[in-house]
Structures are given as structure tokens and as C-alpha cells.
Amino acid sequence: MTHALSLASIMMLAQSSRAAQGLGILILAGLFVLLLVVTMVVVVRQYKRCPSNRVLVIYGRVGGQRTAKCMHGGGVFVWPLVQDYQYLSLEPITIDIELSSALSKKNIRVNVPSTFTIGISTQPDIMNNAAERLLGLAERDIATQSRDIILGQMRLVIATLSIEEINQDREKFLDLVNKNVNFELNKIGLEMINVNIRDITDESGYIEALGQKAAAEAINQAEIDKSNALREGAIGTATANREKNVRVAEQTAQGAIGEKEAERDRRIKVAQLEAAGVAGEASAAREREIAVAEQTALAVQGKKEAESNQRVKVASLEAGAVSGENESKASIADYEATLEERRADAKRRGEVAMANAQRDVLLAEREREQARLEKEQIVLQEIEKKKIEIDAEAEADRIRRIAQGQADATLAKYKAEAEGIQQVLMSKAQGYENLLRICGDRKDIAPSLLIIEQLPQLVSEQVKAIQNLKIDKITVWDSGANGSDANGMGGSTSNFLKGLIGSLPPIHELAQQAGIELPEYMGKVSQAKEEKSAKNKPAMNNPKPESDKSA
């Protein structure tokens, strides 16, 4: 009884234990399913997909030294707690730039109203700049920053161009705008999509004047083209009339010639037909006789050909039988010869392959040796050759630069000298012109004034004629009692001084040739002539002095 109770209790305990184990398994399975569902929900919620019109910016712990990770398109898992995300819109932003009073290259202020279309770039480096500087900003704030950048770069570009380049070479202007504006916008993560220059005006009316000039030139060119067209039309009309007259005359002449040729051809044709009729009758008779003879010959020939064909057929059959036997024997011989040729060819190919292998080995060894020599010697020679060439080019360039510098210096020197001479000549010409204007009607006194101006220099040149004479002393013994000779002239001392002065250039003659009179204290031209003639006359009654020495 007790044993039966214990067995029943054991079975009940076992059943309860199995039930508890089943319940535990169910709980574990439920927990696993719940964890799996929670994980799937987290994965689905944290996996972010980037649409085509946005840039996904992930910030937080993104690895490396980067502050953010940018993606355009695709998707990525955003780890909770350590990462977060935002989107940057790629929609274009339109900005109206009312640029006015911008200073151009020629210091002319221009107005350049334009419309810029910009947007966030999708290039990796520029996207990172946008994530660092534009994330979280409204479109209005982005447009304000961009407007300031564009205005500054537009003024910079306009300052490097003239009015003609801005107004006429729009391609160059837009290219510079794209280059400069894009470079600055890329720094904050933006890029320029399009630019539209609405109009270009200036405050001084320079562009309008250029337009009027171009319109006037176009009108003048149109008038010239019109005149040229009228001239060409008149020339064409005259040419057409002349060609018409020439063609009419030619056709008239051709008509007369055609009539004469037709008449001649008619006569020739009639004569030919008559001759052909006579010849045709003779030819028909001859052809009839020939045809009869030909038919007779053909009949005989057909008979002979039939006999010949019979003999040839019989001989051909006999030759075919003999040929079949010979072909069989030849086939056997060809097979044996082909077998021998294949054996010889196989042996030859083996020997050729062995020779080729040996040749390749030798070539490889030669190339290896050649490469070693090139590495050890030729490379050093090439380096030395390059060094010599570089040194020679440097020396040639130095000599060329020195020669160019000397040539430029010489040219500048000669230009300066030429300009100086030109200025002197122009000043002289202006002075001569003023002198002639001051003289008025008395143009003849202008040379006198110029010579009087040069008198100090003439006197200076006369003094130079004797200033270098090395005379230690002069001793004069004058035998005249009263210091004069028999003719009433001065004594020897005065004659000596007068002769010395007379050896100087004749100032009075120069003045006389110029048509002027010197001051009274310098004497007269006539007096100078008389004194000179009196000096040249021989002194007939002049007593010879007893002693006259000079040392």
C-alpha cells in the first residue's frame, strides 16, 4: 500500500516537473521572439534611406577624424545613442543679385543685375563642407550668405575686365564668374548651377555710345553693301546684255553653217545611197554563192566529225581502263610517300623545337647580360649625359639672358639719347620760331642775334689758340726813338703784338659775312681791312733796325 502511494507520488512529481520544464521552454521562446521583434523594429526604425533630392548627414561617432558622414542615395544603419542624422535639401535656390556701381578695369562704374541658381553639391568633399557649415540653417539664411559671397566675387571679376570685354565677350565674363564664384561657394558646401546676366548698363553712357557706334558702323556697312550690290547688278546686266548679243550672233552664224552642212550632207547621202545600191546587188550575188559553198562544206565536215568522234570514244574508254589501274598504283605510292614525309616532318619539328629552345635560352642570357651592363654603365652614362645637357642649357640660358639684358640696356640708352636729342631739337626749333616771331618783318636781324649769342664762345676759341704757347719771356729791342717807324706806324713792339693778334681767327670777317657790325670798341670792318692791307705793303723807306732779338 505504501509502495503504491510512493510510486504514484513519484509519477505525479515527474509529471509536474515535465510541465514546469515545458512552461520554462515556452517562456524562453516567448522572450526570444520578443527580443527578435524588438531588434527588428529597432533595425527598421534606425535604417535610414536617403532620397535622391536630399543628402543624409550622420553625425556623432562616425569613425576617424571626420565630424560627419554624408550620403547621397542608398541607405545606412544609424546606431542609437552614439549617432544621429539630419537631411540637407538639394533643391535649387534662386538668388537675385542687384549689383550696381561696380568699378571696372577702366574705372567706369557698371550695373550688372543677374540671377544665380545655386544648390548643395553632391561631391564628397563639398558635401562635408555643407554638413559642417549649413546643417540646420534655413533656406533664407543660406541665400543671405551666398548673396554676400556672390556680390564680392562679381565685383572682383568686373574689376579685372574692361567694358568691352564685359559687354562683348560674355563667354569669358561668365567663365570667370563661374570659376571665382564656384570656388568660394564650394568652401561652404554650395555650387553654382546657373547664372543669368539680365542686363549690363553704366552710369556714364559708355555702353550706349558703343552701341550707337556699332549701329552706325552697321548702317555704313549696309550702305556700302547696297552700293556694291547695285554696282554688281549693273555690271551683271551689262554682262548679260553683252552675252545675249554674242549668243544671238553665234546662233545666227551656227544656223547659216547648219544649213550649209545639211545641204552638203544631203548631197553626200544621195551619192552614198546610189553607191550602196550598186554594191548591195553585187554583194547579194556573192553571198548567195558563198552560202551554197558553205553548206556543201558543212555536210562533208559533219560526216568526218562523226567518224572522228567514234574513234575518239573507243580510245577514251580504253585509256580510262588503263588510267584506273595506274591511279590505284599511284595511290599506294602516294600513301607510302606521305607516311615517310610525315615521319621526316615530325623529326624535323622536334629538332627545330630543340634548336629554338636553345636559341631562347641564349637570347635570355644575352638580354640578362645586356640589362646588367645597362644598369651598371649605360645608366651612369645617361645620367652624366643629362647632367651635361642640363648644365649646357643653363649656361646657354644664362648667356642668352645676359645678352638680352645688355641688348635691352643698349636699346634703352639709345632710345633715351634719341629722345634727348629730339627734345633739344624741338626746343631749338621752338626757340628759332619764337625768335622769328619777335623779329617780325625784320627777318634779316635773326642771324645777327644768333651770332651775337655765340660771340663769347668764339672769343673763347680765339683765346684757346694762344693759351697753350709756352713762352718763358719776350725781349724786344726797339731802335725807334719815339717808338714809331718811318711810315708813322708803331714800333717793333706794337708791330709784334699786332701781328700776334692778327694771327687769330678774323672776327670782323665772320661778322661781315653774317651781315652785322660789331661794337665800336672792337673796331670796324673797313678799318681792319685798311690795317691789314697796310701791313701787307712792303716798307720801302723803313730803316732796318740795328738789332732785334727775341728769346
> What pLDDT, in 10s, does the model give residues 364-378?
888 888 777 776 777
Q: Quick one: angle between helices 379-439 and 445-467, nearest 10?
A: 120
The x, y and z cell numbers of residue 208, run together, are: 550706349
Spatial distance between the Cα atoms of 489 and 482, rounded to a whole number of angstroms: 11
Same domain (yes/no): 170, 189: yes
Asked whether residue 545 is assigned to any structural domain, the reply reads no
At residue 202, what are phi and psi to the nearest 5 degrees?
A: -135, 160
Mean pLDDT score, 335-350: 80
Least confident of 55-59, 93-97, 340-344, 526-530: 526-530
Q: Is the per-residue pLDDT at 550 higher than 60?
A: no
Please list, in sequence order, all residues whose beta carbon lies within 8 angstroms of the beta carbon of residue 16, skipping any fewer than 6 positions away.
none
Same domain (yes/no): 81, 194: yes
Give the pLDDT of residue 236. 81
Asked whether residue 6 is assigned to any structural domain, the reply reads yes
Domain endpoint, select from 25, 49, 73: 49
Residue 478 pLDDT level (bands cut at 50, 70, 90): low
Give the pLDDT of residue 513. 58
Spatial distance between the Cα atoms of 88 and 127, rounded to a whole number of angstroms: 9
Least confident of 93-97, 227-231, 389-393: 227-231
Question: What is the DSSP annotation of 89-141?
Answer: E---EEEEEEEEEEE-TTS-EEEEEEEEEEEE--SHHHHHHHHHHTTT--HHH
Same domain (yes/no): 31, 148: no
Spatial distance between the Cα atoms of 146 and 188, rounded to a whole number of angstroms: 9
Each residue's pLDDT tens digit, 268-311 = 887 778 777 777 777 777 777 787 777 777 777 777 777 777 77
Q: Which of 272-308 are b and which e, b meaning 16 or more Cβ less than 10 Å from the residue's Cβ?
A: eeeeeeeeeeeeeeeeeeeeeeeeeeeeeeeeeeeee
Please list, in sequence order, all residues whose beta carbon lies within 8 angstroms of the beta carbon of residue 38, skipping any fewer than 6 positions away.
none
Using the Cα atoms of residue 350, residue 352, residue 355 and residue 357 in order, give the sign of their dihedral: negative
Same domain (yes/no): 145, 175: yes
Residue 510 pLDDT level (bands cut at 50, 70, 90): low
Asked whether residue 15 is assigned to any structural domain, the reply reads yes
Spatial distance between the Cα atoms of 482 and 490, rounded to a whole number of angstroms: 9
Is the pLDDT higher at 145 or at 266? 145
Give the pLDDT of residue 535. 53
Q: Is the per-residue pLDDT at 504 higher than 60?
A: no
Asked whether residue 402 is assigned to any structural domain, the reply reads no
Number of domains in the chain: 3
What CATH number is associated with residue 167? 3.30.479.30
Same domain (yes/no): 37, 58: no
Give the pLDDT of residue 539. 45
Mean pLDDT score, 520-544: 50
Same domain (yes/no): 62, 173: yes
Q: Quick one: angle between helices 492-502 and 525-536, nearest 10?
A: 120
Residue 551 pLDDT level (bands cut at 50, 70, 90): very low
Same domain (yes/no): 524, 465: yes
Percentage with pLDDT > 70 across the chain: 78
Same domain (yes/no): 41, 66: no
Asked whether residue 506 is assigned to any structural domain, the reply reads yes
**What count of other Cβ atoms lies within 10 Å of the Cβ of residue 445?**
15
Domain endpoint, select from 159, 181, 204: 204
Give the pLDDT of residue 215. 73
Mean pLDDT score, 166-175: 83
Same domain (yes/no): 190, 58: yes
Spatial distance between the Cα atoms of 242 and 385, rounded to a whole number of angstroms: 77
Same domain (yes/no): 147, 191: yes
The x, y and z cell numbers of residue 527, run together, are: 678799318
Mean pLDDT score, 139-168: 88
Same domain (yes/no): 65, 29: no
Chain position carrying cell 539664411: 141
Chain position carrying cell 565630424: 67
Give the pLDDT of residue 468. 67
Asked whether residue 64 is assigned to any structural domain, the reply reads yes
Q: Which of 20-39 are b and which e, b meaning 16 or more Cβ less than 10 Å from the residue's Cβ?
A: eeeeeeeeeeeeeeeeeeee
Asked whether residue 295 is assigned to any structural domain, the reply reads no
Mean pLDDT score, 18-39: 79
Asked whether residue 164 is assigned to any structural domain, the reply reads yes
Best CA proximity match to 524, nearest among 501, 504, 507, 505: 507
Each residue's pLDDT tens digit, 117-150 = 999 988 888 888 888 888 888 889 989 999 999 9
Least confident of 185-194, 261-270, 378-387, 530-539: 530-539
User: What distances in angstroms separate CA 519 from CA 135, 210, 522, one per listed residue?
Assistant: 103, 69, 6
**What count of other Cβ atoms lies within 10 Å of the Cβ of residue 533?**
9
Domain endpoint, select from 150, 182, 204: 204
C-beta separation of 76 from 55 below 8 A: no
Give the pLDDT of residue 116. 92
Same domain (yes/no): 94, 172: yes
Domain that holds residue 14: 1-49
**What count of other Cβ atoms lies within 10 Å of the Cβ of residue 361?**
10
